[in-house]
Amino acid sequence: MTPSRLPGLKPSRSSLRFHPDFRRFWTADSVGQAGAAVTLVALPLVAIGTLDAGPFETGLLVVFEYLAFLVIGLPAGAWVDRVRRRPVMIACVLARAVLLGSIPVAYWLDVLTMGQLYAAAFGMSVCTVFFDVAYQSYLPHLVEDGRLLEANVKLEATRNIAQVGGPGLGGVLVGALTAPVAIVVDAVGFVTSALFLSRIRGSETGPEVRPEASLRSEIAEGLRFVFGNPLLRAITLTAAISNLAAMIGASMLLVLLNGELGLSPFLCGLVFTAEAVGGLLGSLLTARIAARIGQGPAMCLSVTVSGLLWMLALPMFQPDWRFAVGVALQGLGWVVFMTFKINSVVFRQQLCPRPLLGRMTASVRFVVWGAMPVGALLGSALGQSIGVRQAMWVGVLGELLAVIPVLLSPLRTVRELPGRLTDADTEAPACASTPR
């Protein structure tokens, strides 16, 4: 099957750095991620510092940040497959800017409440659902299959570069200007991201028109593709368990650091900065690691070792010299985990037929990201009932179990990911067997 291309783009053997439209796409994503990194610190600190929220209320904020993946994740994928993706992405980033901008305005008017934070967080999650499905479905139209790994590595590397300074900057801004004001930086970042997306010149290939297909049947088609493939099913389940466990701990992280240990917003931000630095280094090493030991074994090893490192990091989060050790271990865990993260995305994009990309992405996101609000809610309840650090231990132990689906699948011996299935393959029984 010949890959579809955006009209007007000439194939080039040079680096994607010289691909004009990919460069704009790349910049838009990096700028948006930098702004989002500020809010990663600022939004929970608005709840904790400005509104005196407790562990459950703060954890519930994280629930709303991912709730839309459970509520509208599946229909979003089917809908995105029916429209052009770039206008969807532009609308989503502008909506994010408006939602975030409402928080400092309410703060200045002295009418800010937890209800508004929950509403803004849920609105942001709706935008994230549509943006992420469109984003991952749009990239294979922007670059050819053979350059998807390069494109994803570049996106992950610069995304982590943008996030390196974001949390630390968020901590500084919160300390100097208060948390609600710091969120303005994020809103500006999303507006800038929309400007770069609007400057992509290539015309996107129109969606396939299927008037006879209902929304329900298209959703079912995406789910059948994901869960009918043994390798894709194993990767999806591993990612879902990892996210569930991670959000149990993440929902309580700032409650522990800022609320219980009394660490400054700047020090809290350093934890996220370490994660971003680790993600950057890991993204640069991913291709080499996969080439040396094989993509499947590398993904299995990645999940196992990262879980062990995060287990060692948790007891080090103390208000003394051990905090530095904990931050370093947290970052090192992300160095290792990026091999799984990047290769799993490349696997999905490379395997899936183009007309099915949106539904496949939405099906995976429904399971993988849908586990996150469940994990955050569970973390909130555990933090309130058994204690914040104890809840985080539950999350760490869950991370260690996440590797089981991939270890029990053929993935552990797959050295190279299979090629893209054709449209005919998705209509035949072979689409439910091990990919070629």
- Do the beta carbons of residue 247 and residue 370 sit within 8 Å? no
**Residue-level length of the chain:** 436
The three-class DSSP label of residue 367 is helix
pLDDT at 109: 87
Q: Determine the Cα–Cα distance for residues 62 and 383; give it in Å rounded to an integer.
A: 13
Q: Is residue 227 part of a domain?
A: yes
> What's the pLDDT band for 428 if we cut at 50, 70, 90?
very low
Question: Phi/psi of residue 198, each to 5°?
Answer: -70, -15
Q: Is residue 121 part of a domain?
A: yes
- Do the beta carbons of residue 190 and residue 35 sit within 8 Å? yes
pLDDT at 404 over 90: yes
Determine which of 260-274, 320-334, 406-420 has the lowest per-residue pLDDT on average: 406-420
Which residue blocks in 46-178 are alpha helix, DSSP H? 55-66, 68-71, 73-80, 85-108, 114-142, 148-177
Q: Is residue 208 part of a domain?
A: no
pLDDT at 238: 93
- Distances from the Cα of 37 to the Cαs of 60, 114, 168, in angstroms? 19, 21, 9
Determine which of 1-10, 110-119, 296-305, 358-367 has the lowest per-residue pLDDT on average: 1-10
pLDDT at 215 over 70: no
Q: Is residue 1 part of a domain?
A: no
Of 49-63, 199-213, 344-358, where does the model show the most confidence?
Answer: 49-63
pLDDT at 213: 56
Determine which of 18-22, 60-64, 111-115 has the lowest per-residue pLDDT on average: 18-22
Q: Determine the Cα–Cα distance for residues 259 and 391; give it in Å rounded to an integer.
A: 15
pLDDT at 384: 85
Counting the structural domains of the chain, the total is 1
pLDDT at 436: 28
Q: Is residue 3 part of a domain?
A: no
- pTM score: 0.66
* DSSP assignment of 7-63: TTPPP-SS-GGG-HHHHHHHHHHHHHHHHHHHHHHHHHHIIIIIS---HHHHHHHHH
- Do the beta carbons of residue 27 and residue 180 sit within 8 Å? no
pLDDT: is 224 or 328 the higher one? 328
pLDDT at 2: 37
Enclosing domain of residue 114: 19-203+214-432
Q: Is residue 209 part of a domain?
A: no
- Which residues touch 68 (CB under 8 Å, ≥6 apart)? 122, 125, 126, 128, 129
Q: Is residue 11 part of a domain?
A: no
pLDDT at 405: 92
CATH number of the CATH domain containing 253: 1.20.1250.20
